[in-house]
Amino acid sequence: MSQSGTVRPIALVTGASRGIGAGIAQKLGTLGFHVMVNYVSNEAKAQEVCAAITAAGGSAEPMRFDVSSEAEIVSAFDTLAKKGALEVLVNNAGISEDGLILRMKKETLDRTLQTNLVSAVITSREAAKLMMRARRGSIINITSVVGEMGNAGQVAYAAAKAGLHGLTKSLAKELASRSIRVNAVAPGYIETDMTGALTDVQKKSITDNIPLGSLGTPQDVAEIVGFLSTNGSRYITGQIIGVNGGLYI
């Protein structure tokens, strides 16, 4: 609810306390959504994102639940159902534990698939229950260029992200009759904490292969998510939209 008392449609962004998720949450705040900023461990960062949204005239609140836990997801959506109309779900939460397959432990594979893929299936299921009642909504999966082109040392991560593409297309067909759209945004190399750890030499090696010649920003991704969240994209569903500077075409 806004400070004036006007009820706003709800947008839930998972993994929204930093990086791309934080950028998306702030963008949705400018579009008039009451943004639920999901986090699992860093409440302070989630509160900072909420503060930035409200300072810009938006409305937001933190929401803690672990996307790797079905029970916590179900409980969170029970809470959402009492707050108002959920119009947007952004499945952004994810982890990356890189390594060659010969050294990969099953626990790593399970953890990566559970957090990056299975969680999105469960949150989408719960969101669909709420959106079907209203016969409207937008589900947006944040995937990766790696899910399209592959990358050595990221077998588990790439498999999970590619799985999100299949989820997106299949769910789009299932929910279209209820006016619920499902799309995916596949970022390339984006300036986040993860890329911030790269050396200048590593960054140059990456940007040399990007036709537009630079890394992207969380805002670049957020703009597309914002578009997919509003009526301007009412006739778009089942699509994978790349935000990668031309790295994969």
Catalytic residues: 157
Helix (H) or strand (E) holding 142: strand 137-142
Cβ density class 60-69: b for 16+ within 10 Å, e for less? bbbbebbbbe
Q: Three-state DSSP class for 179?
A: coil
Helix (H) or strand (E) holding 141: strand 137-142
| Length of the chain measured in residues | 249
Question: At a CB cut-off of 8 Å and minimum separation 6, what does 247 contact?
Answer: 145, 149, 188, 189, 209, 210, 211
Q: Hey, what amino acid is at 232?
A: G
Helix (H) or strand (E) holding 242: strand 240-243
Tokens of 214: 């630079």
Q: What residues form DSSP beta bridges with 90?
A: 13, 140
